[in-house]
Amino acid sequence: MSNLVVVGAQWGDEGKGKIVDLFSEGFDIVARYQGGHNAGHTVRVGNKRFILRLIPSGILRPGVKAVIGNGLVVDPAALIAEIEALEAAGIDVASQLAISNRAHVIFPFHRLVEKISEDRKDRVAIGTTSRGIGPCYEDKIARRGIRMAEFVDPGGFSRRYADLAEDKKILANAFRVGEPLDFARIEEEYARLAERIRPMVCDTALLLNRAIGQGKRVLFEGAQGSMLDVDHGTYPFVTSSSATAGGVCTGTGVPPSRIGAVVGVTKAYTTRVGAGPFPTEARDERGESLRRIGNEFGAVTGRPRRCGWFDAPLLRYTAMLNGFASLALTKLDVLDQMETIPVCVGYRLHGRPIEAMPATAEELDAIEPLYEMLPGWVMPTAGITSYEKLPARARDYLEFLEQQAGVEIGCISTGPERSQTIIRSGSRLEKLIHSVSV
């Protein structure tokens, strides 16, 4: 089975955009299955830099179909801004993009609801991007949301919008919001946006399953990372959707039997954005060095990322959840100047070693990471495209991570460009890519 899933193995920002873009050359369709425009993928092609928020990275490959699945929540204004930026760069979005008629729609009042929630007195802030993602998913689960099918139907949209807007007006009044939204103006504006989106809206579950039945190859793209999954992540400091590979089936309508393998993406160290537990966070000068050298700032928000060391117990956990066939490791070159590199190999909680990932934020905050110190290579790796040409100690580092995580590292990124990548000869990943391309 040649259909692959690419999913973040940490807290997001692992470099999935580059990996999906790299792999998409051998696929007919790239489909995203969850999240919203709070998550960004940065892809560099030559001297061009693209930041994709909703549209799958495959859009950058001519002839590759890009699918926004039913598991996403879509802000039409953000989507159209992204479409226009891509069209200005010469990409034929209209012929390549398909949007699920079952994806839910984000409106400006969803952002208001999120701000109310985050700013509420005595509430521990989650650290969201305040783009309305969570409240839109709340409406979806509460069965009062508006989907693309209703959004692009003028008569249906007006009726459904009136009901949803009334609900939000009551909420805004209850919280005494100082600047009330103009709900009538929003309806008019979003009705115009619907006209522009309508030609791309279709039943993407049917599109994908028909394509697979015809022998076409699909690459499924996740947003965020496994540790932000609403069920399996560091709850409540998580996203509002299923970011693990299991979300592919519910988020696209493609059954598990159609999926061949899952590839996890991890950094050579660890980062996360926003609040929440982070056992290996480096709150010192070395953490600042990782942020500076790695340019660890959010692609969408610009927020500085918290930085820390590679967390093998975390990788073992996300490998179990997703069933990784292989790992793609990014930003190896960020560690080039470090004489020693800590790697977390185990956890201790209340003085005792533990194997299971704690379920509560309080326990996760109390974890004591157990480190092994590895020698650095203090040599440049940027741009190297052959595993054998990496410094010996860099190879030792990678092989130690493999042993600790229990998964091969089949791909190593040594820079942001497509070409700055190593596919390890004889790896399972190389065989998976070869099986797609033949």
Q: Is the dihedral of CA 263, 264, 268, 272 positive or negative?
A: positive
Secondary structure class of 223 (helix, strand, coil): coil
Structural tokens at position 355: 């194997």
Alpha-carbon distance of 195 to 300, in angstroms, equals: 26
Which residues, at least 6 apart from 106, have a Cβ–Cβ distance to it below 8 Å?
Answer: 36, 37, 73, 74, 75, 76, 78, 131, 132, 133, 136
Q: Distance between CA 190 and CA 168 in Å, rounded?
A: 16
Catalytic annotation present for 92: no
87-95, Cβ contacts within 8 angstroms, sequence gap of 24 or more:
89/48, 89/50, 91/59, 91/60, 92/62, 93/55, 93/59, 94/199, 94/200
CA distance 224 to 282: 21
The single residue of 37, 41, 110, 232 carrying the catalytic annotation is 41
Which residue in 13, 21, 28, 139 is the catalytic one? 13
| Residue 123 DSSP one-character state | P
Cβ atoms 45, 21 nearer than 8 A = yes
Q: Please indicate whether residue 119 is annotated as part of the active site.
A: no
Q: Which residues are catalytic?
A: 13, 41
